[in-house]
């Protein structure tokens, strides 16, 4: 063949070219441009075992510029992961293991789902943070049991996204020295040369974050790339390696141009490219000697076996720590979890005090935090308001000690970093902000659901109950938006008992993220006949024999529903009150149960948010008391009166539906 070491890179290039061409869809330019960097990293530095993609002490590799997915699929195939050639030929096709952008629950060896640019960087920050936390907790002077790097590929687009600033700034503050990012500086995006819209001094930017920056590395010079990686691994800070590359490297007519970015090269250009880089093989053919050179199964197995021996030695001297690490890696709850939760529920039942549900959540954390070292909490600069910092928790320091992270005003970065923390394994992250600021973090929350990651989002100040802060801080559409998102459970509890159940479900979840929607204002505790029914997501809070109508509510509006039902009873109208703290769970119940709860009588639904969501539980003539506009700035009581969240309005509306 005559190309020697370059043939290893060219195998990546042509698998990518051929797959995109067969699919007539995809992005060949980035894989062609980053193939040389990928070769050096995966051959000389990356620690992994294709036989066991989940080996815990492996290095993590994140493709933040996920549109270049064929680069990763080619690497996984060549190095020996369970990704046969037929899957590469099925690139971007229904049911294949090679979707258009990498998906961690679809393809073995893919660490995180990427595509929305910049989020992979934040995920990687979370992974590197998890490694540092666990290393601090479990490593001993004589045994470095947790010792691996997180590597990231990113492009110009990733660095244009604001989330890269949020995440990388925090990474520098935390001194994540095991985080190494390789920047594909090809100066091209879909719209053309980026000089018209991206002229940042990227090295200076990252130096200001507190990163080590290695500038002007030739991304097509193997020795230069290798030298840069060796240097990066010596740093006591995160490292950015700026690699000058040519998008579409090897293509005679499209290299260095936007034409190579997001479309198949075409048969004619592929033929020219084959000639240009001396690759005389049919599509999807890889010579056996190249497979042999790329095969990492034996090396990877030896690396894992060495670690397993280290773990055995560790277990002899530190049996308790080894057992705890095994529990954390397995994602199992501590033995006393059930008892702790049961005691919490009983205590809330016995306590007649009025608490904001955010306070109830804080009480839950005060009890759960001490028994769950895997809980890593945080807030986007709202810890006292979110009640996220439990008694006895310690600020996470740059050496990995502690369990509470002040994320700063970085809602998007915070959420995506949490995804990285839980993807790494051994960590259960939670963090809070005001519900209205979900808007900043929305795509990361969506990615939690898409990846089936059981992170816990705490959203306080859940309605116009915020009061004087006004409509900028009063969520209206946000709860409905969360409920409309597949694969997430949204809880809006009405008191301490429901809040404790929400936390129970959140932490027992293996693959469903949870959003806790919590009040600022105090709420009275409710009496209920069967608290176990809360686990069904919706239940009858107040029975009414032969009811005339049903009042449905959640969260802070439960008090209004209960009080209104009592007023209606005084007038001879029997109203059943239904609480639906988690609509997703309720919707998953049997039709028989849902009918038992909701009945067939006229209904009024009450929630201080968007009305539209509730119509699915209603029929013609039923009413919703909610919001179809933004809030106002005023004291809470004035707002409740202004927007109709009063006993008189509820009673009036109930009588109205009965007259229809």
Contact between residue 55 and residue 48 where contact means Cβ atoms under 8 Å apart:
yes
What is the DSSP secondary structure assignment for residue 620, as one 8-state letter?
Answer: T
Gap between the Cα atoms of 564 and 119, Å rounded = 47
Secondary structure of residue 214 in the 3-state scheme: strand
Gap between the Cα atoms of 21 and 389, Å rounded = 52
Give the tokens for residue 344.
């919490």
- Residue 203, classified by CB atoms within 10 Å of its CB into exposed (0-12), middle (13-18) or buried (19+), is middle
Gap between the Cα atoms of 250 and 572, Å rounded = 83
Gap between the Cα atoms of 53 and 110, Å rounded = 8
Gap between the Cα atoms of 128 and 107, Å rounded = 22
Gap between the Cα atoms of 222 and 217, Å rounded = 10
Gap between the Cα atoms of 76 and 80, Å rounded = 6
Contact between residue 145 and residue 204 where contact means Cβ atoms under 8 Å apart:
no
Secondary structure of residue 623 in the 3-state scheme: strand
- Catalytic residues, by residue number, are 411
- Residue 198, classified by CB atoms within 10 Å of its CB into exposed (0-12), middle (13-18) or buried (19+), is middle
Q: Phi, psi (5° rounding) for residue 392? A: 95, -10
Q: Print the SS3 string covering 301-328.
A: HHHHHHHHHHHHHHHHHCHHHHHHHHHH
Rg over alpha carbons for the chain, rounded to the nearest Å, is: 28
Contact between residue 180 and residue 252 where contact means Cβ atoms under 8 Å apart:
no
CA nearest to 493, candidates 461, 522, 518: 518
Q: Print the SS3 string covering 158-190.
A: HHHCHHHHHHHHHHHHCCCCCEEEEEEECCEEC
Output the CA torsion 527→532→534→535 (10° steps).
170
Give the tokens for residue 296.
């990492």
Question: DSSP assignment of 37-89, as one string?
Answer: HHHHHHHHT----TT-TT-TTSPEEEESSGGGHHHHHHHHHHHT-S--HHHHH
Gap between the Cα atoms of 509 and 452, Å rounded = 10
Gap between the Cα atoms of 455 and 357, Å rounded = 19
Give the tokens for residue 68.
């270049």
Give the tokens for residue 502.
């929400």
Q: In DSSP terms, which residues pair with 140 in a beta bridge? A: 143
Give the tokens for residue 570.
């005084």
Tell me whether strands 575-579 and 539-542 are parallel, antiparallel or unpaired. Answer: antiparallel
| Strands, sheet with 428-434, edge to edge from the N-terminal-most edge strand | 404-406, 375-379, 428-434, 456-460, 514-517, 489-491
Tell me how far CA of residue 61 lies from CA of 14, 77, 380, in angstroms. Answer: 21, 15, 27
């Amino acid at each position: 063949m005559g190309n020697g070491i370059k043939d290893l890179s060219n195998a990546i290039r042509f698998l990518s070219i051929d797959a995109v061409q067969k699919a007539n869809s995809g992005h060949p330019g980035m894989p062609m441009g980053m193939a040389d960097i990928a070769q050096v990293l995966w051959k000389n530095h990356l620690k992994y075992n294709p036989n066991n993609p989940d080996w815990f002490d492996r290095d993590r590799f994140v493709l933040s510029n996920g549109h270049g997915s064929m680069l990763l699929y080619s690497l996984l195939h060549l190095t020996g992961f369970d990704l046969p050639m037929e899957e590469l030929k099925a690139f971007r096709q229904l049911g294949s293991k090679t979707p258009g952008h990498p998906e961690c629950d679809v393809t073995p060896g893919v660490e995180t789902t990427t595509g929305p640019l910049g989020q992979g960087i934040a995920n990687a920050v979370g992974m590197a943070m998890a490694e540092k936390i666990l290393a601090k907790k479990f490593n001993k002077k004589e045994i470095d049991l947790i010792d691996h790097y997180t590597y990231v590929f990113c492009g110009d687009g990733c660095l244009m996204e604001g989330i890269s600033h949020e995440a990388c700034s925090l990474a520098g503050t935390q001194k994540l020295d095991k985080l190494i990012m390789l920047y594909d500086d090809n100066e091209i995006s879909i719209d053309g040369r980026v000089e018209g819209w991206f002229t940042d001094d990227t090295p200076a930017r990252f130096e200001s974050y507190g990163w080590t920056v290695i500038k002007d590395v030739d991304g097509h010079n193997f020795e230069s790339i290798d030298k840069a990686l060796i240097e990066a691994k010596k740093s006591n800070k995160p490292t950015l390696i700026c690699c000058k590359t040519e998008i579409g490297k090897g293509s005679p007519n499209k290299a260095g141009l936007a034409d190579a970015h997001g479309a198949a090269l075409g048969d004619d250009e592929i033929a020219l490219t084959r000639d240009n880089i001396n690759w005389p093989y049919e599509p999807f053919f890889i010579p056996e000697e190249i497979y042999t050179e790329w095969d990492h199964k034996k090396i990877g197995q030896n690396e894992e076996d060495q670690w397993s021996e280290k773990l055995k030695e560790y277990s002899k001297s530190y049996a308790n720590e080894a057992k705890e690490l095994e529990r954390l890696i397995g994602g199992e709850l501590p033995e006393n979890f059930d008892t702790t939760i049961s005691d919490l529920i009983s205590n809330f039942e016995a306590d007649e005090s009025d608490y904001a549900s955010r306070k109830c959540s804080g009480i839950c954390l005060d009890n759960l935090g001490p028994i769950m070292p895997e809980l890593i909490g945080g807030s986007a600069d709202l810890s006292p308001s979110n009640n996220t910092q439990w008694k006895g928790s310690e600020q996470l320091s740059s050496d990995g000690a502690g369990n509470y992270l002040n994320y700063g005003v970085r809602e998007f970065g915070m959420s995506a970093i949490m995804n990285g923390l839980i993807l790494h394994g051994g960590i259960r992250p939670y963090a809070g902000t005001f519900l209205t600021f979900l808007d900043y973090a929305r795509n990361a929350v969506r990615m939690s659901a898409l990846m089936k990651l059981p992170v816990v989002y705490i959203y306080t100040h859940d309605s116009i109950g915020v009061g004087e802060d006004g409509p900028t801080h009063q969520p209206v559409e946000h709860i409905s938006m969360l409920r409309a998102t597949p694969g997430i459970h949204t809880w809006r509890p009405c008191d301490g008992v429901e809040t404790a159940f929400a936390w129970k479900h959140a932490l027992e979840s293996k693959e469903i993220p949870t959003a806790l929607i919590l009040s600022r204002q105090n709420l009275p505790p409710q009496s209920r006949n069967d608290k176990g029914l809360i686990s069904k997501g919706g239940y009858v809070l107040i029975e009414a024999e032969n009811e005339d109508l049903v009042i449905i509510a959640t969260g802070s509006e439960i008090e209004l529903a209960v009080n209104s039902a009592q007023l209606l009873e005084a007038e001879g109208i029997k109203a059943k009150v239904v609480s639906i703290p988690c609509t997703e769970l309720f919707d998953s119940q049997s039709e028989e149960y849902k009918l038992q709860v909701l009945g067939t009588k006229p209904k009024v639904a009450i929630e201080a948010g968007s009305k539209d969501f509730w119509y699915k539980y209603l029929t013609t003539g039923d009413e919703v008391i909610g919001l179809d506009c933004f809030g106002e700035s005023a004291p809470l009581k004035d707002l409740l009166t202004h927007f109709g969240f009063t006993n008189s309005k509820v009673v009036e509306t109930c009588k109205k539906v009965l007259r229809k």
